Amino acid sequence: MSLSQVAAELDARDPLAGKRAEFDLEPQLSYLDGNSLGAPPRSVAARLDEVVRKQWAGRLIRSWDEGWWQAPERVGDRIAPLVGAAPGQVVVSDSTSVNVFKALVAAVRLNPGRPEILVDSTTFPSDGYVADSAARLTGHEIRRVPPAEMAAVVSERTAAALVNHVDYRSGLLHDLPALTESLHAAGALAVWDLCHSVGAVPMRLDAAGVDLAVGCTYKFLNGGPGAPAFLYVAEKWQERFDQPLSGWAGHADPFGMTEAYAGGAGISRARTGTPEILSMLALDAALDVWEDVTVEQVRAKALALGDFFLRCLDERVPGAEVLTPRDHRRGNQLSIRRPDAKRVMAAMTESGIIGDFRPPDVLRFGLAALYVRYVDVLRAAAFLSGWPG
């Protein structure tokens, strides 16, 4: 059988094949950049129209009492099962960078007397920038360490470690439970960045004993460009969660207008300012696509997509330098290094195969299994084999 026949057969047998119709994607488009910006679920446009015309225009200020004010916790509770968290531990708020700041400052305050913060040296840069700033303000030292070395480096000096679940560049998936356990063994808190795994890789934050976690919602959760991020605070830490962006929305009695800050109960104290309702409810609508599908199903298909992509590359682009593990220690993307990566991706995009480029020389292909087809990864491999041909 040719690769085209295999792809067609895999797509025909794909139990998730019907999910693509829930997204507003042109049929001929191969969209392999869900690791950067998820595709739009069809439910979003209608929901935004309703929010603007019925809620904002129709009810005006009253909508704050009719669901808006509690949306950060409510939508957070919709994300919770996707990260293996019991309700009441996830809140949607701000950007990932802002939440990293909250989480790190809170973490070192939970673990006083330890002068050091470990930061994943392969992190998406923003986390590192924000960690530097948090450390400067709290008087901690930052030590940059690859996740693979963290278990060996963590010590009684370490207050907390900030680690990415998936390496944004290579797609390597780190062992969240094992590293969390190693960090805890040294008395350090584990702060995970789930941006590249949430909605793609099954995880059980509660079971793993993760302390704090952040993640974005515009990649595999399809919440829309710049959709608000989320923050997970394990229940055991909530009462002592002492965060630096202590705005009114996290206050125990926000409308009491008291002079002194008093953090709210539970996860609410992780909130800061007035929640960004339009973006938040677009995300809420986008999460509807998860109602009849599990992360495990999505993961199974994404691994099969990746395996098939590797097979296509092996046959059609035998010299390709794949940065991502060939086994299943990978997240939800395949990364390929080639010196002409930037030009290649521009040309692919022109031809209707959209992935992305990360400097200096990495092509990334996201395998968002809710809408990516086997034919899409075959097309990507075929393009690479023929280019610039």
Asked about 219 being catalytic, the answer comes back as yes
- The four Cα atoms 249, 251, 254, 256 give a dihedral, to 10 degrees, of -160
Q: Annotated catalytic residue: which of 33, 94, 193, 356?
A: 193
Is residue 354 involved in binding its own copies (CB under 8 A)? yes
For the CB of residue 204, give the shortest distance to its own copies in the complex, in Å.
27
Among 76, 171, 228, 331, binds its own copies (CB under 8 A): 228
Beta strand 362-366 with 333-337 is: antiparallel
Query: Which residue numbers belong to the known binding site for pyridoxal 5'-phosphate?
Result: 96-97, 124-127, 193, 196, 218, 248, 274
Among 279, 324, 332, 333, binds its own copies (CB under 8 A): 279
Q: Give the sheet arrangement for strand 116-120, strand by strand.
A: 90-92, 230-233, 212-215, 189-193, 158-164, 116-120, 141-145
Give the range of 14-22, 176-184, 202-210, 238-246 binding its own copies by CB under 8 A: 238-246
Cis peptide before 360 (omega within 30 of 0): yes
Q: Which residues pair with 191 in a beta bridge?
A: 162, 212
Pick from 302, 339, 336, 341: nearest CA to 318: 336
Is residue 215 involved in binding its own copies (CB under 8 A)? no
Q: How far apart are CA 305 and CA 27, in angstroms?
A: 18
Question: Closer to its own copies at the Cβ: 3 or 212?
Answer: 212
Query: Which residue numbers belong to the known binding site?
Result: 96-97, 124-127, 193, 196, 218, 248, 274
Q: Which amino acid is at 147?
A: P
Is residue 247 involved in binding its own copies (CB under 8 A)? yes
Is residue 125 involved in binding its own copies (CB under 8 A)? yes
Q: Which burial class, exposed, middle or buried, applies to 116 when counting CB atoms under 10 A from its CB (0-12, 13-18, 19+)?
A: buried
Total residues interacting with its own copies, rule: CB under 8 A = 79
Question: Closer to its own copies at the Cβ: 43 or 238?
Answer: 43
Is residue 137 involved in binding its own copies (CB under 8 A)? yes
Q: Which residues pair with 118 in a beta bridge?
A: 143, 161
Name residues contacting its own copies, limited to 8-47 (CB under 8 A): 24-25, 31, 33, 36-37, 39-40, 44-45
Site string for its own copies, 46-75 (x = CB under 8 A): --xx--xx--xx--xxxxx---x-------
Tokens of residue 136, six digits: 């400067």
Pick from 215, 173, 225, 170: nearest CA to 44: 225
Asked about 383 being catalytic, the answer comes back as no
Name residues contacting its own copies, limited to 88-107 (CB under 8 A): 94-98, 101, 105
Question: Closer to its own copies at the Cβ: 225 or 386?
Answer: 225
